[in-house]
Structure 1
Amino acid sequence: MATQQQRTPSGHRTPSGQPTPSGQRTPSGQPTPSGQRTSFPSPYEQPPPAGAEDWRSLYPYHVLFQPERRAVEETKFWFCDNQHWPTVLKPFETIGPELAAKCLGQFNTRYFLMPPANGMECRVHHGYVYLSPVAVDRDETVARVPEFLRRAGYYFEHWDTLLDNWKRKVLATIRELEALRFAELPDVQPYEEIERGVGLDATDALLGGYDQLLALCHRAWQYHFEFLNLGYAAYLDLFQACRQWFPAIPDQAVAAMVQGVDMELFRPDDELKRLAKLAVELGLEHLLTVPGPGQHTLDAVALAPRGRDWLDAWRTARDPWFNFTSGNGFYADDRYWRDHPALPLGYIRDYVLRLRRGENIDRRVSELVAERDRITGEYAALLDPAQRTDLEAKLRLARQVYPYVENHNFYIEHWSMGVFWRKTRQLSALLHRAGFWPGENDLVYLTRDEARGALFDFAAGWARGSPSIGPDHWPPEVERRRRIVHALASRRPEPALNRPPAAVTEPFSIMLWGITSERVRSWLAGHSTTGDLTGLTGLAASPGRADGPARIVHSPAELDLVQEGEILVAPVTAPSWAPVFSRIRATVTDIGGVMSHAAIVCREYSLPAVTGTGSASTRIRTGQRIRVDGTAGTVTLLD
């Protein structure tokens, strides 16, 4: 992404807070006399919400905007990644963005030598995650091409074999995570260890287990990015070729060329539909449509004729497909289907009710494939034979690698991270019982380094037979941090920080996050005092048009509020929200590009969607009637 300094028509530089040609100061992010902002706030000039003045004490130094680096940090354009981290991070949860930024960078910069992109710098500001792409200069981009083609080419040529190996590696990592145990320390070591001369105590496994927990999480995140950007690169290659052959081709037409493929990410939702159909077949639908489903529902089914048959199917689906969170796997308090049966049972209930009404609950895959083939054929017919052969080759590769772009979510964000957070909660509960913090899950208010210090304090107190320091030190500190996190959550984040570049050119920022020059201008216009109050513009993410009342959803906990016929408006959606799509008419998000999870899932579910609006979730209110045009990329406020 270009980040060069802007110039006025007279050639004078106007960085944040510096004198303009008239000699008057223009603080970063302030509107011009016309009411239009030309810059987002500087992170160094934006005060925190009341009650969060000491927020910086919660996070590791390397994810903060440091005062001594102001001259450097203010030259960069940072965008808020509320596509992946839509709510305030607790200290321990920074493991997500830290490892994501590190591992994305290693594969772009050191492993495959991606020509147009290095990694992403990551900062936490007021509790939210901000990213800035690391530029690759033109000479280095050209120099990387031969080695990238050699390295990436090997992966593309052996994609299926390497992907099978990837799945074995990930499943082995999950098994290692599952095997970790954080047990109570014994009063004394067993005498049998004396006889064997073990020479180690129970804290050796406890401290080593914590280190292993972090190491396995790091390993999983490396696997996350092993194939991911290659999937985006293959699609980008197809996209750029189509733009060259057909300059006026819509982004949606290129996206349609790869739609309708089988994805494991949709398997959890498919299992819900299968269980709903089986319930109707077995005559159990009356037990699965009662309000407030939960464990008692499963108990009632177990007593019903043929109920055991349904429960056998339930257990088969649960392991592994219910290792799925209603969120995105990046937060410690995400609720997983396998741990909270009320979540999948609620979705099954909706599907059973739809089946009773005679509705089709399956994805319209055949229609998607027919549309894909029609669009591809029409454009291919415009090419000469050599170009058509080139298009077919690029399409084969894009369709082969495209499923990974979504499938990795299930194995890493949902399954691997679900086990990681479960083990973290076990460790947190162990120290809670020892008096280290007031709540069972309060370990998340410590950084990872602080957590290891607290764990050693606990181990040392046990070893010497005297009280640990933690029960005196941590409870008030945890409560202080809890208050700060609550205060930070009272304010929505700025979509970006600092002066935007003259042009956004970094391809992955455009494709995944939807950070285009037009989007940045619309974000700035969204804060204009004279802007258009009748609608918003975004990216045309999934075709179609729908009218209806809006339902604002800021977190997965609010999904139960979504009613039939509403339009879902959120900072971002998660792939696991797919079962809710049976209730809604369209989707609108604040952030996301044509290859974002929200865009891909909506296209596969034939749901109109506009992404990357910047401020829809704050400008629209629940109940307000809106019109979503997913073909044009517009949202009209009808009330």
Structure 2
Amino acid sequence: MSMKSFPRPSDLPVPAGAEGWEKIYPYYLVFQDSLKEIEDEKFWFCDSQHWPTVFKPFETIGGEFAVKCLGQYNARHLMIPNANGIDFRIHHGYLYMSPIPVPEDQIAARLPEFQARIGHYFENWDSLLDQWRTKVRGTIDEMETLNFDRLPDMVPMDDIFSGKAMDGSERLMENYDRLIQLAYQNWQYHFEFLNLGYIAYLDFFNYCKEIFPDIPDQSIATMVQGVDMELFRPDDELKQLAALAVELGLQSAFANTDDAEATLEQIAAAPGGDRWLAQWEKAQDPWFNFTTGNGFYAHDEYWKENFSIPLGFIADYIRRLDEGQTITRPTEELIAEKDRIVAEYRELLDEEQGAIFEAKRQLAATAYPYVENHNFYIEHWTMGVFWRKVRELAATLVDHGVFAEAGDLLYLNRNEVRDVLFDLVTSWGVGAPQGPIAPAYWPPIIEERKQIVAALKTARPQPALNTPPEAITEPFTRMLWGITTEQVQSWLEADTDNVTGLRGMAASPGVVEGVARVVMDASQIHEIEQDEILVAPVTAPSWGPIFGKLKATVTDIGGMMSHAAIVCREYALPAVTGTGNASTTIQTGQRLRVDGTRGTVEILDLEDTVPEVAGPGAHSHEHATAVS
């Protein structure tokens, strides 16, 4: 008998050792006993697509800013008639979301405002998008200027002569406040165009469904594919560097890219190495502001700060080139297929319908690239600078004896860090011999929080909470996350004890068979071998360099407009997204048949499996960095 509801938040057992987890997050991010009746009535789904691992307290900033700013463009900027924002809570360390509908009696009144506002954007798309890039780059540039220097032993004499009359501690606090505000600023900019990209695509999508009732979702997606996206530019730079290395005969220099310094020295000493290094330098600004993760976590590693990452990808591209493989995306074939499908459907329409169809398609095609491109500017570039500045601040606090190690800062929320800074500047300013109170106050709290976070990581999150609605109609929830009525029902009916196959979103067409490689986070992508099928909770857009090696992709969450779906279509790679639990059901080494046209995944050899299984908490492995 299938379940009719997912567990309520209060029904879920707290992982051993994580008791009292609620107190490590701000009060407004956790479910409240006093609001239980209201919160249990709402359907919540886990956004493991963007936040696949447990939050440390400071890291909630990304979830808070992103979901708040997404909502403001629905509810306050664009006045989308049928969709307000998304309510959100953290439960057991994971982010859950609940779309907020617009009451029926308010929809009509919002429509004129909505039409006027989106009309302004679509009529001035190119100039406004240029303005957007300028705004975003200005925020990043200002963030780069912020510094968190150690406080001096005494005020410089120049400040006495100038009459400055401040001790410099104000800069430490002002720069911290400004860092938070600049991150918030670029998250507001993030959504200025994103919702419009979805709106344009959904308008085209709905029109196609109206005039072609039986059209597959994939055929609609195909009609806007084959576009040049800035998000692919970092990967394209690596491909060009690999091709140049082969042209110059530098392959032997890439034998051990884990030692980036030695690799670059070997290249420099080789004939033609100076030419390669010049292109390498040119590619870094801005395209190496890229992470193997998604930018939401402090442990994400950036190409700019760890050259072994891009060098390793280049080495793999060199191998594939030497084997005679094609490493470029099949853009010409994608465009040809797009043109063929557009022409076939266009022929079915009369002149008036055809004009409307083409106008809506062109608008969707114009706005569609932003759905991916924004990732580079915000999640990767902005957040890369943000986390670097956080590490600089943490190092200064360690230098002043506030924390024992830089990573301790992450176990405080951003408001608690502000209190710590005032504690520091107070003790420093008055010359207190014992120094700040923090070293006496925070260590046991930080240690407890570290244990709680580690304990929370031992359990995978529930895909959803409470009773789903009879129909899920909110467009972004369906298209981005793949949370559809049918998919939620399949999660409820899943028999985890007798799984022979999975059903998800038919995200990118094609049928293949191959061996599974389960990857729970970015730190494992180097394990992927040629022609394997990637199975993951979610993929990040930055995993582009490994897509050319794959036969197919399967994810736990994601809809037709998710990053995984879009990237797979641009690589002509079959994909099934939104399966709910593929990453914990399938084992590395199992043979799969992935049908990205129908949205099914069949496990072909249930008896013959590899014993090495990703156990509880495997998804939370992180690289060690200065702040981790």
TM-score range, shorter chain: over 0.9
- Equivalent position of 2:383 in the other structure: 417
Provide the rounded CA distance (Å) in 1 between the counterparts of 2:165 and 2:73. Answer: 42
- Equivalent position of 1:146 in the other structure: 112
Provide the rounded CA distance (Å) in 1 between the counterparts of 2:400 and 2:514. Answer: 52
- Equivalent position of 2:467 in the other structure: 499
- Equivalent position of 1:365 in the other structure: 331
- Counterpart pick for 1:347 among 288, 313, 317: 313
- Equivalent residues of 1:293, 1:345 under 8 A apart: no
- Equivalent position of 1:457 in the other structure: 423
Q: Which amino acid aligns with 1:499?
A: T
Give 1:45 shift: 2.0
Q: Which amino acid aligns with 2:542?
A: S
- Equivalent position of 1:437 in the other structure: 403
- Equivalent residues of 1:293, 1:346 under 8 A apart: no
Give 1:70 shift: 0.4
- Equivalent position of 1:377 in the other structure: 343
Give 1:527 shift: 4.8
Give 1:543 shift: 0.6
Provide the rounded CA distance (Å) in 2 between the counterparts of 1:628 and 1:386. Answer: 40
- Counterpart pick for 1:108 among 66, 74, 79: 74
1:65-124 deviation per Cα after TM superposition (whole angstroms, max 9, x unaligned): 011000110010000000000000110011111111211111111111011211011100
- Equivalent residues of 2:508, 2:597 under 8 A apart: yes
Q: Which amino acid aligns with 1:260?
A: G
- Equivalent position of 2:446 in the other structure: 478
Provide the rounded CA distance (Å) in 2 between the counterparts of 1:526 and 1:296. Answer: 51
- Equivalent residues of 1:545, 1:608 under 8 A apart: yes
Provide the rounded CA distance (Å) in 1 between the counterparts of 2:185 and 2:481. Answer: 25
Aligned pairs (5 A) from 1:269-280: 269-280=235-246
Provide the rounded CA distance (Å) in 1 between the counterparts of 2:197 and 2:549. Answer: 31
1:292-316 deviation per Cα after TM superposition (whole angstroms, max 9, x unaligned): 3522211211222221111111111
- Counterpart pick for 1:172 among 121, 124, 138: 138
- Equivalent position of 1:259 in the other structure: 225
Q: Which amino acid aligns with 2:421?
A: L
- Equivalent residues of 1:289, 1:352 under 8 A apart: no
- Counterpart pick for 2:478 among 492, 498, 510: 510
Percent of matched pairs sharing the same residue: 57
Q: Which amino acid aligns with 1:339?
A: E
The reply to whether residue 399 of structure 1 matches residue 365 of structure 2 is yes
- Counterpart pick for 2:563 among 597, 607, 613: 597
Provide the rounded CA distance (Å) in 2 between the counterparts of 1:586 and 1:492. Answer: 24
- Equivalent residues of 1:436, 1:472 under 8 A apart: no
Aligned pairs (5 A) from 1:268-347: 268-290=234-256, 292-347=258-313
Aligned pairs (5 A) from 1:28-67: 34=1, 36-67=2-33
Provide the rounded CA distance (Å) in 1 between the counterparts of 2:60 and 2:555. Answer: 23
1:321-363 deviation per Cα after TM superposition (whole angstroms, max 9, x unaligned): 0100000000011000010111101100011111111111111
**Unaligned regions of 5+ residues in structure 1, if any?**
1-33
Give 1:464 shift: 1.1
- Equivalent position of 2:214 in the other structure: 248
Could you say what secondary structure the match of 1:338 adopts?
helix
Task: Tell me: CA distance 1:387–1:565, structure 2 relative to 1, closer, same or farther (3 Å).
Answer: same
Could you say what secondary structure the match of 2:147 adopts?
coil
RMSD: 1.0
Task: Give the total of aligned pairs.
Answer: 603
Give the TM-score normalised by structure 1. Answer: 0.93
**Unaligned regions of 5+ residues in structure 2, if any?**
606-628
Moved more, 292-301 or 622-631: 292-301
- Counterpart pick for 1:79 among 41, 45, 49: 45
1:500-531 deviation per Cα after TM superposition (whole angstroms, max 9, x unaligned): 111111111001100001110111112566xx
- Equivalent residues of 1:83, 1:572 under 8 A apart: yes
Give the TM-score normalised by structure 2. Answer: 0.95
1:153-212 deviation per Cα after TM superposition (whole angstroms, max 9, x unaligned): 010000000000000000000000100000011000101111110011111100000000
- Equivalent position of 2:488 in the other structure: 520
1:454-489 deviation per Cα after TM superposition (whole angstroms, max 9, x unaligned): 111111111111111111112222121111111000
Task: Tell me: CA distance 1:250–1:385, structure 2 relative to 1, closer, same or farther (3 Å).
Answer: same
Provide the rounded CA distance (Å) in 1 between the counterparts of 2:136 and 2:94. Answer: 29
- Equivalent residues of 2:496, 2:585 under 8 A apart: no
Give 1:586 shift: 0.6
Could you say what secondary structure the match of 2:87 adopts?
strand
Q: Which amino acid aligns with 2:267?
A: V
Aligned pairs (5 A) from 1:162-241: 162-241=128-207
Q: Which amino acid aligns with 1:523?
A: W
- Equivalent residues of 2:257, 2:263 under 8 A apart: no
- Equivalent residues of 1:116, 1:507 under 8 A apart: no
- Equivalent residues of 1:429, 1:441 under 8 A apart: no
Provide the rounded CA distance (Å) in 2 between the counterparts of 1:335 and 1:230. Answer: 30
Q: Which amino acid aligns with 1:479?
A: E
Give 1:39 shift: 0.8
Provide the rounded CA distance (Å) in 2 between the counterparts of 1:39 and 1:112. Answer: 33
Give 1:291 shift: 5.7
Provide the rounded CA distance (Å) in 1 between the counterparts of 2:108 and 2:219. Answer: 29
- Equivalent residues of 2:257, 2:311 under 8 A apart: no
- Equivalent residues of 2:58, 2:409 under 8 A apart: yes
Give 1:266 shift: 0.2
Provide the rounded CA distance (Å) in 2 between the counterparts of 1:77 and 1:441. Answer: 35
Q: Which amino acid aligns with 1:303?
A: A
- Equivalent residues of 1:539, 1:611 under 8 A apart: yes
Could you say what secondary structure the match of 2:300 adopts?
coil
Provide the rounded CA distance (Å) in 2 between the counterparts of 1:230 and 1:263. Answer: 17
